Structure 1
Amino acid sequence: MSKLIIRKVAVLGAGVMGAQIAAHCANADVPVVLFDLPAKDGKPNGIVDKAIASLKKLDPKPLGSKDRAQYIEAANYGSDLEKLRECDLIIEAIAEKMEWKLDLYAKVAPYVRPDAIFASNTSGLPINALSEGMPAELRPRFCGIHFFNPPRYMPLVELIPTATTDAQMLDDLEAWLTTRLGKSIVRAKDTPNFVANRVGVFSILAVMHHTQQLGLGFDEVDALTGPSIGRPKSATYRTADVVGLDTLAHVIGTMDATLPNDPWHDLFKAPLWLSALIEKGALGQKTRAGIFRKEGKKIMVLDVAQQDYRPSAGEVAPEVAAILKNRNPAEKFAQLRASSHPQAQFLWAIFRDVFHYCAYHLADIADNARDLDFAMRWGFGWSMGPFETWQAAGWADIAQAIQADIDAGKTMVNAPLPAWVFARKGVHEAAGSYSAADDALKARSALTVYDRQLYPEQVLGEAPKDRGETIWENDGVRLWTRPDQDARIGILSITSKAHAIGNEVLDGVIEAVARAERDLDGLVVWHDAPFAVGANLMQVAEALKAGEFDLLERTVDKFQRASMTLKHAQVPVVAAVQGMALGGGCEFVMHASHRVMALESYVGLVEAGVGLIPAGGGCKEFALQAHTLAQRAAGGDVYLYIQNSFQTIAMATVAKSALEAVQLGFAKASDDILFNPHELLYAAIRRARAMAEAGYRPPMMSNAVTVAGRNGIATCEMMLMNMAEGGFISAHDYTVAKAAATALCGGEVETNARVSEQWILDVERAQFVTLLKNEKTQQRIQHMLETGKPLRN
C-alpha cells in the first residue's frame, strides 16, 4: 500500500469542476482549501462562498451529506496564498487557457512546499508544457490529474506524467486516488485530450457527421445511441446539453488546433447549427435550452431543417430494434451492415468509424487496449469499450468489413488500418491486453493497492477471477470462502434475480448462519450490486391472489427470524453493502454485526411505496435505537427519538450515500465507509477476522425496551392529520403511516411501557399482515410489479 499521507488538499478554481473535486475530497474526510479570485464586491471570498453554498443544492449531489461542506475552507489568491503551505496536494482546476494557468502557477509556486504534489485537472492541454510553468525543483512532483464530471460519481481519473514526473510519486498518488477517493485510474500519454476525451469527442463528432449524412433527427439519434447500444440514457445529444455546448465546442476546437496531422483533422469542426446555438446563448442544460429544451411538460428538440424546435418523439424503428435485441454480437453487426434501413446504416457507420479511429491511434494515445476500453467505460459510461465490442463481434470479420468500407470510400477518411489489426485475433487475452506501441501484451498494474480488489472490473477476454470454494448453496444463496484470503471467514451471496429476498433466500440465510456458527469464525454477506432490492413481490402477489394469508404471515415470521439470526449469530456477521439495499435488504443490513459500505450505497425502508411497513425487524431496530438514545438524555422521552424514524419510514426516505445512511439510522458511525466498491470484500473479510480475534459476542435480546406507546401513536397521528388536511397524503397513505407509528411505538400499550424485542416484532408482523389484506395495498403491489413505479391511491 502507498505510504502517501495527504492531510489537506487545495483546489485552485471554484468553478463547476473545482468545487465538486473539493466536495469529493471532503466526502473522503480530507479537509480542503478552495481558492478563487477575490470578489470585486462584498466579502473577499464571496466567489468561493457562493460555490460552496451551491454544492448543497446541486443534483446529482456532489456532497455525500450536506454537513461535509464544513470541511471546505474558502480562500482567495489575493490574501490567502500562505494557506497553500499547509497543503499536501494542490489541484489546479481553472479554465482551459494555457496562459491563465501559467500565470497562476507563477503566482502560487512560491507558496508550494517542496514535498507537496501539484497537479492540473486540465482536460486536454499539454502536461509537459504546463510543467514548464513550474520552478525546476517542483517539476518532479507535477502531473496531470484529470477528473471526469461529476467527480463524485464518475470513476475515471486520468493520470498524466511529464518527462520529469517522479515515478514513485505517481505510483503513490495512484494508490491514494484509488482507495481514498475510490477512483479508477488510467495512465494517459501527454497527447491532446488524453484518452477518454480523445475517443469520446471523436465518437460524438462521428455521430454528428452521420446524423447529417443520413438526415436523422437529434431525438431519433438519441433513441439509437442510448441503452440500446450500451450507452448512458443521456445518449449523445442530451449528453452534449448536460456537458455544455460551449464546453463541447471548446474541446472540438482543442482537437482542431492541436492535431493538425490527424487524418480526421478536417472533421474536427463544430457544425454550423452548434455554433449558432452557442451564439444565441443556448448552451444546454445550464441555460435551460440547447439541442433540447423544455416547454412546460413537453420536451422539444431542435429541428435543423426548420430552424426551430419541435416536440421530441424519436424512436428506434421496429426492424432495427429487433436487430439490437440479438444477443449474438457477430450476428447483430452482420445484420446492421446488411440492412438498408437508415438507422441500421447509421449504427454500423458510427461503430465502424470509432473502431477505425481507435485502431489507427492506439499506439499514440494509450498504453494498451485495456486502458482505452476502461477509459470509455469509466469516463463516458459505455457498457463495453470499443475494442471489447469489436472483439465480441468477431475481430477478423469486423476488420475485413472496415477495410472494405475504406476501399469503397464509405468511411469518414481513407486512412489505412494498421497492419497489427490483421495480424491478431483480438486485443484482450488472459495474458494481457495488446499494446500497439510496444507490439506486446501488457498485464495489469502490479501496484499493491490492487491486491485489495479481489474482483476488479474486467474487460472481455481476460482470465476469469477465482470464484472461491462453495461450502453449501440452495436456489437463493451460496455460502463459500476464498481460502487465499481467509478460509475460515464464510461469504454469503444472495443469488436470486436482483438479489430479491424470497423464501429460498430466507431459508438459505438461516442455514448459512447455522453452518458458519458450526464451522467458521465469521460471515460476510457480499455479492455484486445491488445488495438487495427487498422482498420478492412476485411471491407475495401470488400468495395474495390465492388468499394464503396464513402462509404470508408465516413468511413474515421467517423473515424476522432470518434477520434475528443475522443479528444474534455466534460469529460476527459483516454486511458488505454496495448499490441499493432497500426494504428487506435494508433490514438485513441493519441487523448485521457490522457494516462495510461503499460510499455509493442507497439504503432505505421503502415498503410504504407498496402500501406496507417494514416487518423484517426494521421498525423494531428503530425502536431499539430510540430506547438507547432516550436512556442517555435528560428526561428520557423516547418519543423524541421516534419522530425522525417515523418520517423516514412514512416517506420511504432513501439514503443517497453511506454517509446519509448513518445519519438516518440505517448504519452506525462505527461502520466502515469505503470509496472504492471493488475493495469491499477485501475489507469485510478482514473486519470479520478482527472481530472474531477480539472475542466477538452477539448482543443479547432485550426484554426491557421503553416504547412511546399510545401517546406516541397519537402524536404521530396528529402529524398525519395535518398532512391529510393539506392534501399532502392520501387516505391510504394515512393508514400505512399509522401502522408504521404503531409498530415504532410498540403498539397500543402505556407510554414508557417496557416490552421485549419479540413483542415489537409481533406488532410489526400483525400490522404488516393487516395491510396485506387491504385492497389498496394489493393494488399498489400489483402496480409496482407491472410498472416498476409506486401507485398513489
Structure 2
Amino acid sequence: MKRTIKKVAVIGSGIMGSGIACHFANIGVEVLLLDIVPRELTEAEAKKGLTLDSKIVRNRLVNEHLSNSLKSKPSPIYNQKFASRITTGNTTDDMAKIAAVDWIIEVVVERLDIKKMVFEQIEKFRKPGTLVTSNTSGIPIHFMSEGRSEDFQKHFCGTHFFNPARYLKLFEIIPGPQTSSEVLDFLTDYGSKFLGKTSVVAKDTPAFIGNRIGIYGIQSLFHLVKEMGLTIEEVDKLTGPVIGRPKSATFRTVDVVGLDTLVHVANGIYENCPNDEQHELFKLPDFVNKMMENKWLGSKTGQGFYKKEGKEILSLDLDTLEYRAAKKASFATLELTKTIDKTIDRFKVLVKGKDKAGEFYRKSFAGMFAYVSNRIPEISDELYKIDDAMKAGFGWENGPFEIWDAIGVEKGIEIMKAEGLEPAAWVTDMLASGSSSFYTIKEGATYFYNIPTKSQTKVPGQDAFIILNNIRESKKVWSNSGAIIQDLGDGILNLEFQSKMNTIGGDVLVAINKAIDLSEKEYQGLVIGNQAANFSVGANIGMIFMMAVEQEYDELNMAIKMFQDTMMRVRYSGIPVVVAPHGMTFGGGCEMSLHADKVVAAAETYMGLVEFGVGVIPGGGGSKEMALRASDLFHKNDVELNVLQEYFMTVAMAKVSTSAYEAFDSGLLQHGKDIVVVNKDRQIAEAKKHALIMAEAGYTQPIRRNDVKVLGKQALGMFLVGTDQMQAGKYISEHDRKIANKLAYVMAGGDLSEPTLVTEQYILDLEREAFLSLCTERKTLERIQFMLTKGKPLRN
C-alpha cells in the first residue's frame, strides 16, 4: 500500500506538541494543532466582555502555546513564513477535522488515563487506515491501545520525538502488540527521508532506548560526583566537547531540559525496572530531592545547578547546596588530548590518565560499557541501535559501543573488572568467536556484530548515504594537509576539508584547484562537502592577520587574488561543481557556495558573509557576487537602488541565516537552482546525484559575465548618506562606517557617472583593493586579533 503524508493532526500544543507541529510545517506538511478549551476566562478576556463560548477564548491555549514556541530561541521553525502551514483549533469543536488527516500524533500530558480518553475521542472521528501515534517518553505502548478497534491497533504505535523536535535527530518508533510491519517500515523510512531523523525501532520497555541509557549515564554521574568529590564544573569539563558531547555537557544540559523532566523519567525507570542490575542507581541522590523541594529546576525557574546573578554565573556546591562563584576546571589528562583533533582517538589517552580525570573516565566508561552490554536483548537486539539513539538523541559524537571499540574491547573489559563489573556473556562469546570489535568497515559500509549469528552484519539503511569516514582512505585520490579528494564513484569526486574548523587557507585553495584539474581531465563532476560539525567558518584569518601585521601587502594581495581566482574557477570550470554546506557556513565558506553550479544545503545551514565582524568586506568574490545577484534582479521600471540596497544590507549587517530556507530570503541561496536536504546524512549522496545529472545532461562550461549592471554615483551617494546618518545616530562606529563605505564603493561599481555594464573581474579588482586597504587599518587588526583570541567580534 502506498502511503503519503499530506496533513497531520497534533493533539496537545505544549512545548513538545508545538515543536512537532513546527517541524512538520518545516517540511511542507499541513498541520492541524489542537488543545483543550480553557475552563475559565482570564482577567483581560473578562474585561473585553468575552465569554467561554467565544472562539478566541476557546482556542486561547493552543494559540498561546504556538505563539510562545514560534518566539522561542533557537527557533523551532526554519522560516517564520512556514507557520502559515499550521491551523489551530480545540479538541471540543474541531476533533471531527482529524477525519481529513493522514497521521494523528498525540502529545498530551504523561498520564495513561488522559491518553486513553484522547484515543477514545480520536477513534470516533479518524478514518480507517489513518496512522495514530503517541509521543510518550515512558508510558508502555501496549497499555494505550487496550480496548481500541483492530484497525486502530494495527495502525498505532509510539513515535518518540526528542525535544527540541527540529534539532534533535532521534525518532524512536515503538511498536504496540498489534502494530503492522507495514506501518513500522513506513515510519522508519518517513522519519529518515522526510523528517531528517535517525529512525530507531525500539522495544516497548521503560524509557525505550535513548532515555534508558541517557538517564543511566546522568544518574551514574550524580553518584560519581559525590563519590569522587568532584565539582559540577569539573564534571561538565570532563563530559563536554573533549569527549564529543555538547558544550552544555551534563549539569548545564539538565538545567536546560529541566530537573523535573529528568526526575520523572528516572523515577519511571526505578519503579518499572525492578530487575535492572543497576536498579538502585536510579534512586535520586539527596541533593536532587532537595533541589526538587526548592523548585531549583534549571532555566525554567531561573536556577538549577547553575544560577545567573547579573552577568556572573554561579555554581551550586553539592555539599552545602549554596551557590558560589564558578571555578575553572583543568586536568593534566585533558591537556594530553589537545593535539588530537578526532574525538574518537582521544578515548585511549583519557582512560590511561594518571590524575582524577583518568580515574573518572575509567569509572564512568566501565559502568556505561557494562550497562549497555546488559541491555541487549532487553531494550534492543542490535547494538548499533543503542549507539544511534545516543548520538541522535543526546548529541553524542560517538555511541558507547563505538567508544568501547576505540579503547579496545579487551581493554574495556579490563577497566570494568578493575571496578568490580563484568560485561554481558555475549561480549566474551564475541571475542571467543574471533570478532575483536563491535564494528568493522567493508567496502565503504559499516558492519556490526550480530549476536545471534555471531557474525558481522551490514547496518541496514546505509544505501541512501555516503559516509566519508568509511571511504576516506580506501577511495582517496589525492590529499594535502588541508584537504582530501575521494572518488565517490560514477565519475564524481568529493573534496573534503581537513583544516581546523574547516578554515580555507592556502592548502585548501590548492586542493580545490587540484580537484577541479582532476575532474576536468578524468572525471565528470565535483562535490565540495564534508561531514564535520560545520562546513567552514571561512578564510584563515590568522594567516591574513600575520601578513597584515608584517605589512606583507604584496603577498596578501596575491593571497586574496588566489582566493578570488579559485572561487571563479569553481564558477567557470569545465565540470559541474556542487557545494554541500551545513552548519556554520561563514565568509569564504559562504563565498564558495555563492559560486557553485548548484548548492545542496542541509536544512540546518547557518550561512552568512560575516567579514564585517573582523573589520573587512567579503574579499573572495562575495561582494562582487552580491552586486551581480542584485543586477540580475533589476527589471524595467524597478527602483534598482532598493534592490541593490537589500543585498548591500545583507553584507553590511553580517546577516546569518538561521536555516537554509532563510538563506533564500537574503539571496545567498537561489530559488530554482539550489536545493535543501532535511537529513544531513543524505547530503553527500544527494549532491553527488545532482552533479551526475548535470554532467550526463551535457554540462557546458559557463561564459564569464561582462554584463553586470552597476549604478555608480547614484547608488554610492545614497549609501554614503545612509552610513553618515547611521554613525550620527550612534548605531555604528566610525570604523563600521569606513568598512560600509568601502563595501558601498565596490557594490556601486565605483564612482561611475552613470549606470554601466561591467565585467565580474572589474568588481573583483575593486573588492580586492578595498579588502587590502582595510587590512592596513589598526582597528581592523584589533578586530581580527580579538576574534582569534576571544572567538567573538569586537565593536571598535
**Aligned residues of 1:244 and 1:283 also touching (Cα < 8 A):** yes
| Residue 210 to residue 712, structure 1, CA distance change in 2 (3 Å) | same
Q: Distance in 2 between matches of 1:102 and 1:388?
A: 40
Query: In the alignment, which residue of structure 1 is the partner of 2:655?
Result: 653
Per-residue CA distance 1:453-509 (angstroms, 9 max, x = gap) = 0217x7xxxxx44767555556555554333xx22x343344444332223433443
1:744-783 equivalences in 2 (<5 Å): 744-783=747-786
- Over 3 Å counting, the alpha-carbon distance change for 1:54 and 1:714 in structure 2 is farther
SS in 1 for 2:635: helix
Which whole-Å deviations, capped at 9, do the CAs of 1:355-402 have from their partners, x for residues lacking one?
Answer: 222222222112222211221122112232222223322322432442
2:736 is the alignment partner of 1:733:
yes
Structure 1: distance between partners of 2:575 and 2:255: 52
Structure 1 length normalisation: TM-score? 0.91
Tell me by how many angstroms 1:545 deviates: 3.7
Separation in structure 1 between the aligned mates of residue 96 and residue 596 of structure 2, nearest angstrom = 47
User: Could you give the per-residue CA deviations for residues 599-618 of structure 1, whole angstroms, max 9, x where no partner exists?
Assistant: 11121111111111112221
**DSSP-derived class of the 1:163 partner:** coil
Q: Separation in 1 of the partners of 2:484 and 2:334?
A: 40
Alpha-carbon spacing, 1:346–1:667, altered in 2? closer, same or farther (3 Å): same
Aligned to 1:429: 439
SS at match of 2:65: helix
Contact kept? 2:336, 2:349, Cα under 8 Å: no
Report the counterpart of residue 23 of structure 1 in structure 2.
22
Shift of 1:640: 0.4
Matched-pair contact (CA < 8 Å) for 2:571–2:597: yes
Indicate how the Cα distance of structure 1 residues 30 and 564 shifts in structure 2: closer, same or farther if over 3 A, else same: same
| Candidates 627, 632, 639, aligned match of 1:623 | 627
Query: 1:131 and 2:137 equivalent?
Result: no
Shifted more, 244-253 versus 3-12: the winner is 3-12
Give the alignment of 1:149-298 within 5 angstroms.
149-298=163-312
- Counterpart of 1:390 in 2: which secondary structure? helix
* Contact 1:200/1:380, CA 8 A, preserved across alignment: yes
User: Secondary structure of the equivalent of 1:451?
Assistant: helix
Q: Deviations over 1:544-577 (max 9, x none)?
A: 2442212222332232222222222333222122
Aligned length in residues: 766
- Select which of 310, 314, 322 maps to 1:308: 322
Instruction: Percent identity, please.
Output: 37
C-alpha contact (below 8 Å) 1:188/1:367 kept by paired residues:
no
Deviation at 1:104, TM superposition (A): 0.5
Task: Give the structure 2 partner of residue 461 of structure 1.
Answer: none
The correspondence for 1:690, drawn from 689, 693, 696, is 693
Question: SS in structure 1 opposite 2:324?
Answer: strand
Write the distance in 1 (CA, Å) between the matches of 2:31 and 2:258.
27
Question: Alpha carbons of 1:780 and 1:74: their partners in 2 closer, same or farther (altered >3 Å)?
Answer: same
CA contact (8 A) 1:4 1:173 kept: no
**Partners of 1:3 and 1:615 in 2: how far apart?**
51
The SS at the match of 1:59 is: coil
CA distance in 2, matches of 1:382, 1:575: 26
Amino acid at match of 1:21: I
After TM superposition, give the deviation of residue 666 of structure 1 in Å: 0.9
- What is the rounded CA distance, in whole Å, between the counterparts of 1:325 and 1:212 in structure 2? 31
Q: Post-superposition shift, 1:157?
A: 1.1
2:37 paired residue number: 38
Give the superposition deviation at 1:789. 2.8
* TM-superposition CA deviations, 1:626-658 (whole Å, max 9, x none): 2222215xx322210122222221222211211
Matched, 1:532 2:544: no
Deviation at 1:16, TM superposition (A): 0.9
**Is the contact made by 2:333 and 2:353 (CA closer than 8 Å) also made in structure 1?**
no
Contact map agreement 2:33 2:88 (CA 8 A) in 1: yes
Whether 2:470 is the aligned partner of 1:455: answer no
> Structure 1 331/133 Cα, relative in aligned 2: closer, same or farther at 3 Å?
same
> How has the CA–CA distance of structure 1 residues 43 and 444 changed in structure 2, closer, same or farther, with 3 Å as cutoff?
farther
Taking a change above 3 Å as real, the CA distance of residues 25 and 585 of structure 1, as seen in their structure-2 partners, is same
8 Å contact from structure 2 (residues 352, 358) kept in 1: no
1:377 aligns with 2:391: yes
In the alignment, the residues of structure 1 paired with residue 352 and residue 502 of structure 2 have an alpha-carbon distance, to the nearest angstrom, of: 35
1:508-541 CA distances to partner (integer Å, 9 max, x unpaired)?
4345434434544333222333333222223323
The answer to whether the 8 A contact 1:368-1:442 is kept is no
Letter matched to residue 599 of structure 1: A
**Local SS of the residue matching 1:655:** coil
Q: Give unmatched runs, 5+ long, in structure 1.
A: 459-463
Distance in 1 between residues matched to 2:466 and 2:270, nearest whole Å = 42
> Displacement, 1:48?
1.7
Structure-1 residue corresponding to 2:566 = 562
**Bigger Cα displacement from structure 2, 303-312 vs 52-61:** 303-312
Q: Within 1, Cα distance between the matches of 2:758 and 2:298?
A: 58
Matched, 1:591 2:603: no
**Using a 3 Å threshold, how does the CA distance of structure 1 residues 419 and 522 change in structure 2: closer, same or farther?**
closer
CA 148–690 in structure 1, closer or farther in 2 if over 3 Å, else same: same
2:83 to 69, 84, 88: 69
Q: 1:108: Cα distance to partner? A: 1.0
Deviation at 1:767, TM superposition (A): 0.9
Q: Which amino acid letter does the alignment assign opposite residue 423 of structure 1?
A: D
Distance (whole Å) between structure 1 residues aligned to residue 460 and residue 243 of structure 2: 33
Q: What are structure 2's unaligned runs of at least 5 residues?
A: 42-55, 442-446
DSSP-derived class of the 1:56 partner: helix
Mapped to 1, the partners of 2:385 and 2:86 lie a distance apart of 33
Q: For residue 388 of structure 1, what is the aligned residue in structure 2? A: 402
Offset at residue 163 of structure 1 (A): 2.5
Give the 3-state SS of the residue equivalent to 1:316 in structure 2.
coil
Q: What is the match of residue 90 of structure 1?
A: 104
Sort the Cα spacing of 1:3 and 1:517 in 2 relative to 1 into closer, same or farther, 3 A. Answer: farther
Partners in 2 of 1:556 and 1:323 — Cα distance? 34
* Residues 1:500 and 2:514 aligned together: no
1:549 to 548, 553, 558: 553
- The C-alpha deviation readout for 1:171-217, integer Å capped at 9, x for no partner, is 12211110111111222111000111001111111111122233333
Q: Which residue of the partner structure matches residue 678 of structure 1?
A: 681
User: Structure 2: how far apart are the matches of 1:681 and 1:573?
Assistant: 13
Distance 2:430 2:606 in 1: 43
Deviates more, 1:225-234 or 1:241-250: 225-234
1:445 and 1:335, CA in 2 relative to 1: closer, same or farther beyond 3 A?
Answer: closer
Deviations 1:139-184 (A, max 9, x none): 1111111111111111111111123211122112211110111111
User: How far 1:319 moved relative to its partner?
Assistant: 6.2
Q: Distance in 1 between matches of 2:477 and 2:358?
A: 49
Q: Does the aligned pair in 2 maintain the 1:52–1:72 contact within 8 Å?
A: no
- In 2, the alpha carbon distance for the partners of 1:584 and 1:442 equals 43
Quote how far apart the aligned CAs of 1:750 are. Answer: 2.8
The question of whether the paired residues in 2 share the 8 Å contact of 1:566 and 1:592 is answered with yes
Match of 1:787 in 2: 790
Q: After superposition, where does 1:292-371 map in structure 2 within 5 Å? A: 292-318=306-332, 329-330=347-348, 332-335=350-353, 341=356, 344-371=358-385
Match in the other structure for 2:48: none
SS, match of residue 309 in structure 1? strand
1:475–1:354 distance in 2 versus 1, CA, 3 Å: closer
Q: Secondary structure at the match of 1:654?
A: coil
Aligned equivalents of 1:137, 1:152: Cα separation in 2:
31
